[in-house]
Amino acid sequence: MKLLPVTCALAALSFGSHAYAWDFVLLDSDKPASNLRITSEQLGLKVDKPFSVSMRTLHGGRQEGVSLIDIDNGTMKLTVVPTRGMNVLSAQVGSVRMGWDSPVKEVVNPAFIELNGRGGLGWLEGFNELVTRCGYEWVGHPGMDNGELLTLHGRAANIPASRVTVHIDETPPYAIHVRGELKEQAFKKVDFSVQTELVTEPGAAHFVLNDTLTNNGDYPKEYQALYHSNFSTPFLEEGARFAAPVKQVSPFNDKARADLGDWQTYRAPTPDYDETVYNVVPYGDAKGNTLTVLHNKAASLGVAVGFNVQQLPVFSLWKNTDTRGQGYVTGLEPGTSFSYNRRYQRPLNLVPTIGPKQQRQFRISYTLLTDEPAVSKALQQVKSIQDGRATEVRQTPLVDLSKE
């Protein structure tokens, strides 16, 4: 990768209301993606953990022309994919990687994917991220709804971002904000835009997604959102556990029903396991905030995914403990909805509506739990949010898929 010199990077600097406003445009209608690099040193910032944000472009195969943004906050290295819905490809602290190994090795340019292919499963040809945005017109399994084939998990992950910027706060801790806009527009059908934001702080083993969905249309419109957050080793292993403040849990289908008793623990990579999915209704605290935790068997390493149940009231736990080669991965998926086709979720009241010009905020935090005390503290938080409230373990799926 050839990097543009500092002067080029700074040429992208636009002056705001302050003497030094650190706003950089990485991509815009009149600005192609380039091999830009922004560093704390260039900005004259003396921070304990020097940071950098850089951009590069992939070539060859189905990843031709895909832009990547690499953020190194001094502790955590994150890669964001503007060409794929500002998805987070991976996050790494030292040798610990949040993310997974999909059979899909390329970061696939949506230009080469037919979402309508494979009976609506074309999305699977690009699925390999740590966080894959699902929505916002719909999420869930492919199938007909209102006479139209809804493709798996909607379009968001395959919408290239329109205007991508980096903002560095001018005051400590100098938080780094990477923003990109997704336009989900079709005449007479939908007029959504999603202002995505990833925020991380220099030195933190932590990042936040902070998205704003706007219905620019003049009519109320159904929407759905789901943040497909995917983890593998070293968190996922035999005996790894999932914890959350749970109001209700139910199996997604009959297969999951058979394993319901073990829904919170994980298997080793298991040939022919395929997947089981559990539908969770989490409890939140007084403000609606909740926390879900995945940790290894020894409870010495984990991740915490936090969100607000007023924004994202339900949660899918996707246990894809198949072989490593097929994808040994679990998905922690806060959403407005489960992963059923949209037509099944209306009766469950899981297809919300957004009014004209209204906005919806989705804030999800991702924290690496680097040691036993960190895991323990997070589990305490889960317990504290549960606060002794009952958990309903529902034996039967919410949707009877046998009638399909």
Segment 365-404, which members bind a second copy (CB under 8 A)?
none
- Contacting residue, 16, 18, 105, 298, with a second copy by CB under 8 A: 105
Rounded to a whole number of angstroms, the minimum distance from the CB of residue 108 to a second copy is 9
- Contacting residue, 183, 255, 257, 343, with a second copy by CB under 8 A: 183
Does the protein bind a second copy through residue 355 (CB under 8 A)? no
Residue (327 or 334) nearer to a second copy, CB: 327
Owner of token pair 């249309």: 217
Does the protein bind a second copy through residue 149 (CB under 8 A)? yes
- Contacting residue, 6, 8, 10, 111, with a second copy by CB under 8 A: 111
Rounded to a whole number of angstroms, the minimum distance from the CB of residue 236 to a second copy is 16
The residues that bridge with 22 in the sheet, in sequence order, are: 168
Rounded to a whole number of angstroms, the minimum distance from the CB of residue 82 to a second copy is 8
Does the protein bind a second copy through residue 58 (CB under 8 A)? yes
- Cα–Cα dist 134/338, whole Å: 11
Q: What is the 3-state secondary structure (H, E, C) of the chain?
A: CCCCCHHHHHHCECCCCCCCCEEEEEEECCECCCCCEEECCCCCCCCCCCCEEEEEECCCHHHCCCEEEEEECCCEEEEEEHHHCCEEEEEEECCEEECCCCCCCCCCCHHHCCCCCHHHCHHHHCCCCCEEEEEECCCCCCEEECCEEECCCECHHHCCCCCEEEEECCCCCCCEEEEEEEEEEECCCEEEEEEEEEEECCCCCEEEEEEEEEECCCCCEECEEEEEEEECCCCCCCCCEEECCEEEEEECCHHHHHCHHHCCECCCCCCCCCCEEEEEEECCCCCCEEEEEEECCCCCCEEEEEEECCCCCEEEEEEEECCHHHHEEEEEEEECCCCCCHHHHCCCCCCCEECCCCEEEEEEEEEEECCHHHHHHHHHHHHHHHCCCCCEECCCCCCCHHHC
Give the binding-site size for a second copy (rule: CB under 8 A): 73
Rounded to a whole number of angstroms, the minimum distance from the CB of residue 16 to a second copy is 21
Does the protein bind a second copy through residue 64 (CB under 8 A)? yes
Query: Which 263-302 residues touch a second copy, going by CB under 8 A?
Result: 271-272, 274
Rounded to a whole number of angstroms, the minimum distance from the CB of residue 298 to a second copy is 27
The residues that bridge with 303 in the sheet, in sequence order, are: 294, 368
Pairing of strands 206-215, 190-200: antiparallel
- Contacting residue, 40, 54, 73, 128, with a second copy by CB under 8 A: 128
Does the protein bind a second copy through residue 179 (CB under 8 A)? no
Residue (228 or 247) nearer to a second copy, CB: 228
Interface mask toward a second copy for 317-336; x: CB under 8 A: -----xxxxxx---------
Does the protein bind a second copy through residue 87 (CB under 8 A)? no
Choose the stretch contacting a second copy; rule: CB under 8 A; options: 46-54, 210-218, 358-366, 367-375: 210-218
User: What burial class does residue 17 get, using C-beta atoms within 10 Å of its C-beta: 0-12 exposed, 13-18 middle, 19+ buried?
Assistant: exposed
Residue (63 or 381) nearer to a second copy, CB: 63
- Cα–Cα dist 62/64, whole Å: 6
Residue (148 or 238) nearer to a second copy, CB: 148
- Contacting residue, 38, 53, 62, 71, with a second copy by CB under 8 A: 62
Phi, psi values for residue 136, rounded to 5°: -105, -5
Query: Which 221-250 residues touch a second copy, going by CB under 8 A?
Result: none
- Contacting residue, 8, 14, 16, 61, with a second copy by CB under 8 A: 61
Does the protein bind a second copy through residue 170 (CB under 8 A)? no
Residue (147 or 388) nearer to a second copy, CB: 147
Residue (94 or 356) nearer to a second copy, CB: 356
Q: How far is CA 60 from CA 65, 114, 365, in A?
A: 8, 18, 33
- Contacting residue, 63, 200, 311, 339, with a second copy by CB under 8 A: 63
Rounded to a whole number of angstroms, the minimum distance from the CB of residue 183 to a second copy is 6
- Contacting residue, 94, 119, 220, 239, with a second copy by CB under 8 A: 119
Residue (13 or 25) nearer to a second copy, CB: 25
